[in-house]
Amino acid sequence: MSPIRLNFSSAAPHIFHSTLSLLKQLPNTVFPNGHTVVPVVIPPLTLFHHARRDADAPSSPEWVAFDSDMSYGIMGGHRNVWMWTYQTARPVRALYFDGESGNLQGLGQFDVQMLLLYGNVTGPSGMDDLKLEYERATGLCDWLAAAGLRGSGSGYEGVVRMNAGFEMIWCDFSSDSLKLVSRINVTAPLLPEDEGAGDGDGGSEATSASLQARDEVSGGGLLAQRTCATPLPSSLGVTTTSATTTRPRSTPNLPDMPPDWKDELRRAGVGETRARLSGCGVLTFYSRKFANQSFNRALEERQRLNLTDDGLWSGPGDGTNRTEALTQLRRRRRFHHLEHASQEEARLMKKDIEMSLKMLMHDESRCSGADWSLIASDIVRRTSGLLGDLESFLASAPKDWSDERSVREWLHGVRGRSHMFMVNFLQYPETEDLSVWSTRSSLFNKTYSLCRSRYTALLDEGTVLLMPEEAEQQWAVEETFGTICLVQLHVGFGIERTWREVFGGSYSKLSGSLPMLRERSWSWSRQLSELTAWLGWEDSNIRCKDVCAANERCYIPMWPITRPEESANSPRSTPFQ
């Protein structure tokens, strides 16, 4: 059986993983440069929080956070801090940008927003980061209003983004969709002044120093000083340069940031459940219609990842071993930017978004109702463990291939793990003819067809006419799961044939089959490792090496939870209260 060759230039796994990752913290941290825009609905009675350094009502637009910890974490160390808490009075529509779309560090996180506003990824020059943030917020809200997609208390009333937590740019605070429920002064009291200290805030410096010392002793600082994992390689592309920081570590009038803004960490992996995705309106720059962007991305990856013009992997390049090369392939989406998107492509995306949002505002009957993110999550949940288990067990082959009993037990375990994937699609044949286990047999074709269409079988019957955005999601699901099926069945049929060849009634055949068995096991392992690299589910592999304590969570530092002098190159365990 010839090995399966995978097209690493295909957009299918990128669309699939983007949809899978929507509103989830970890995958959007590992792959920070978002390409996707999705309408969301925030249900009634959802709380939003806005902290500020005065008692004045926020102007429009302004940021609100889903968690009070986030608002207080940014402003809580200042003097005279007020917390405004709001609640949604009705279902609120908003536009969500994936990736680290609110992270003020790094490059590429704002690409989609800038393309929609300016037709390029750089935007206006001569602005500091804070001013540019307000420029973006105002521009996005004005665009929604000008396109007829937003009114006072109607339409799409804000923009949902992610950094260390999830936030929303609220466009109009006069909207009756958002009601104020409390406004209180949450300024943390200073400790009593030291005896002999000066007037006013003169004692704040000593207070700040003592608070900092207390945090360091108790382990209550914003970041734990120890790292729970081997630092991620620089190939991950994590920036260590602080483009914007929240503020200095400590000054007389600016005490340390409170150590207990970590609510998002308590819900690690769950995702932001207070915003509900519309499966009908997932629009992405990974779409095949953006040919210029796709071509330039493929061109860059051919050289960097050693791919052919057809996207096939040519193996490790010079000076790179196979393991390192596969790691680079798995992480390739970390390097995706949108600087090659043309102005025409930016206009096309903007037009598509406007058309889709208008349709969803007035008539959702054209939507299938499918939850594409949930479908993608189910595929990953059902297949990633089986794939990893089979790959690991193949790697545990006996070192002594002359030990026939060990080899038999190992191959029996390999077959059992392969069977767990095929069990939903394969009806074992009654014939003992080995040719039935060929990948050219009718049994293989029937099994593959059933597997590929498992999640979209009813759509293939033509009973539902999908919107273009949903049709692209269907394609990405079928291409991604279809590729999993193709490789897993290719390996699985090879395992079944080998089992029958080696143990088909004559145990004595084993000794003469050892060279063939060794070679096939290596081939199966190579195919599975390349499939894993093609899928690019790298966020599933990143975790703290050590088991975190009961009051710790493993996370990758990002703005604004990092400080400029601390590395953002590795996952860390951080205490929370």
Residue partners of 304: CB distance under 8 A and separation at least 6: 328, 335
Cβ 27 vs Cβ 127: under 8 Å: no
Indicate whether 103 pLDDT > 70. Answer: yes
CB-based contacts of 163: which residues, under 8 Å, 6+ apart?
100, 102, 103, 104, 558, 559, 560
Q: Mean pLDDT highest for which of 202-211, 407-416, 472-481, 566-575?
A: 472-481
Residue 570 in contact with residue 231, Cβ under 8 Å? yes
Whether the per-residue pLDDT at 32 is higher than 60: the answer is yes
Residue 544 confidence (pLDDT): 75
Beta strands at 62-65 and 82-88: parallel, antiparallel or unpaired? unpaired
| Confidence band for 2, pLDDT divided at 50, 70 and 90 | confident
> Helix, strand, coil % (nearest 5) of the chain?
45, 10, 45
Q: 207 or 152, which is more confident?
A: 152
Name which residue leads in pLDDT, 374 or 249: 374
Confidence (pLDDT) at 228 = 37
The reported pLDDT for the residue numbered 205 is: 43
Three-state DSSP state, 13: helix
The pLDDT of residue 234: 41
The pLDDT confidence band at residue 462, using thresholds 50, 70 and 90, is low
Contact by Cβ (8 Å): 108, 335: no
- Residue given tokens 């923009």 in the structure block: 159
Three-state DSSP at 10 gives coil
Given a contact cutoff of 8 angstroms between Cβ atoms, the answer to whether 161 and 61 are in contact is no
pLDDT(402) > 70 = yes
Q: Is 448 helix (H, G, I), strand (E, B) or coil?
A: helix
Helix (H) / strand (E) containing 94 = strand 92-97
How large is the average pLDDT for residues 476-491?
A: 98
Domain boundaries, the chain: 1-10+370-542, 24-189+211-274+279-290+341-366
Each as own residue / partner, the long-range contacts of residues 494-501 (CB below 8 Å, 24 or more positions apart, any chain) are 494/1, 494/437, 494/520, 494/523, 494/524, 495/411, 495/414, 495/415, 495/418, 495/524, 496/415, 496/418, 496/437, 497/434, 497/437, 497/438, 498/411, 499/411, 499/415, 500/432, 500/434, 500/437, 501/434
Task: Using pLDDT thresholds of 50, 70 and 90, give the confidence band for residue 503.
Answer: confident
Are 169 and 157 in contact by the 8 Å Cβ rule? The answer is no
Among residues 500, 496, 528, 526, the alpha carbon closest in space to that of 513 is found at 500
Task: Please report, for residues 72, 344, 561, the alpha-carbon distance to residue 258 in angstroms, rounded to integers and kept in the order given.
Answer: 8, 46, 11
> What average pLDDT score do residues 67-72 get?
91
> Cβ distance 246 to 74 under 8 Å?
yes
Using the predicted structure, report yes or no on whether residue 483 has a pLDDT greater than 60: yes
Of the given ranges (33-42, 220-229, 386-395), which has the lowest mean pLDDT? 220-229
Q: Are strands 154-162 and 150-151 parallel, antiparallel or unpaired?
A: antiparallel
Map tokens 């206006």 to a residue: 124
Q: pLDDT grade, residue 270 (50/70/90)?
A: low
Only one residue has tokens 């302004």, namely 62
pLDDT at 261 over 80: no
User: How confident is the prediction for the chain on average, in pLDDT?
Assistant: 84
| HEC sequence for 124-142 | CCCCCHHHHHHHHHHHHHH
Assigned token pair, 278 = 């519309």
- Lowest-confidence region among 74-78, 193-197, 331-335, 367-371: 193-197
Chain segment 312-344, per-residue pLDDT in tens? 999 998 778 999 999 999 999 999 999 999 999
What is the average per-residue pLDDT within 98-113? 93
pTM, to two decimals: 0.84
User: Per-residue pLDDT tens for 441-450?
Assistant: 999 999 999 9
Tokens found for residue 205 = 């410096």
With 50 as the cut, is the pLDDT of residue 215 above it? Answer: no
Confirm if 258 and 73 have CB atoms less than 8 A apart: yes
